[in-house]
């Protein structure tokens, strides 16, 4: 029996899985994609109530709790998307952690800090990608967007382990883009300072950073989650773009 037009539309609607999406940049991307008619799977390792509340706010969205640093959780998160919608077209790797450690404080940036940050930011990103790629290939036009940072290419950031982890994400993006085409495109977004709950408990760091960025950035403001979401939406429809790292920093990188 042929599908009705409504059924056909539902079957062709893209599905996006966004890790670390209960707040901040991830939530901003989820809202923007949902507004564009994309079905969204939300995720976080914690903040379950916030994730469920956002899922209830968005049309045809679901929330799956899980830690991307855990290989079993990564597979389960992807499986939940497939079980719910029967397909996966988009993976946004936004889940990330840091420690606020001055760059010159080598003692505090110990092995535990490196392991914690790399387990989520690098290994977690890899585990989500390897779990998702078979389904993204089936989509025929799969897209992966990794959320990086301007600290990946400049001598700044919340800590050296964090900045190095994002440099690894950038190179992972380029390597995978070279291998997964033509069926799957892989790109990254490198935000500058974005106004999110990331700085909770770090009021002094946040205020000094906000003031400096406002005074020294061409667009004279810090970024918002919606600024990053706009870049994500662009990359999803940029059919001839892969292996790119798109900087979203108000022009700070040019001055």
β-pair partners for 186: 144
Residues 102, 175: Cα–Cα separation, whole Å: 30
Residue 232: phi and psi, rounded to 5, are -65, -45
At 228, which helix (H) or strand (E)?
helix 225-237
**b/e per residue 8-30 (b: at least 16 CB within 10 A):** eeeeeebbbbbbbbbbbbbbbbb
3-class state of residue 173 by DSSP: helix
* Residue 50 CA: distances (Å) to CA of 25, 102, 142: 14, 31, 28
Active site residue 199: no
C-alpha closest to that of 114 among 154, 74, 168, 156: 168
Q: Is the dihedral of CA 191, 192, 193, 195 positive or negative?
A: negative
Catalytic residue among 63, 85, 162, 199: 162
Q: Are 94 and 26 in contact (CB under 8 A)?
A: yes
Which residues are tagged catalytic? 162
């Amino acid at each position: 029996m042929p599908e009705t037009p409504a059924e056909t539309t539902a079957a062709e609607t893209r599905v996006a899985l966004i890790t670390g999406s209960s707040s901040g940049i991830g939530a901003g991307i989820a809202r923007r994609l949902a507004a564009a008619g994309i079905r969204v799977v939300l995720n976080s390792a914690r903040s379950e109530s916030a994730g469920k509340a956002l899922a209830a706010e968005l049309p045809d969205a679901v929330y799956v709790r899980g830690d991307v640093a855990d290989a079993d959780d990564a597979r389960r998160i992807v499986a939940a998307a497939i079980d719910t919608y029967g397909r996966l077209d988009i993976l946004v790797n936004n889940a990330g952690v840091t420690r606020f450690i001055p760059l010159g404080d080598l003692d505090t940036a110990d092995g535990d800090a490196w392991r914690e940050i790399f387990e989520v930011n690098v290994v977690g990103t890899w585990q989500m990608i390897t779990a998702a790629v078979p389904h993204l290939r089936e989509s025929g036009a799969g897209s992966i967007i990794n959320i990086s940072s301007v600290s990946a290419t400049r001598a700044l950031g919340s800590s050296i382990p964090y900045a190095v982890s994002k440099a690894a994400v950038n190179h992972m993006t380029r390597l995978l883009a070279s291998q997964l085409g033509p069926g799957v495109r892989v790109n990254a977004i490198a935000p500058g300072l974005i106004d999110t709950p990331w700085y909770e408990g770090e009021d002094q760091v946040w205020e000094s950073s906000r003031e400096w960025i406002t005074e020294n950035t061409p667009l004279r403001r810090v970024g918002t989650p919606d600024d990053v979401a706009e870049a994500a939406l662009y990359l999803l429809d940029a059919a001839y773009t892969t292996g790119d790292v798109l900087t979203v920093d108000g022009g700070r990188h040019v001055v």
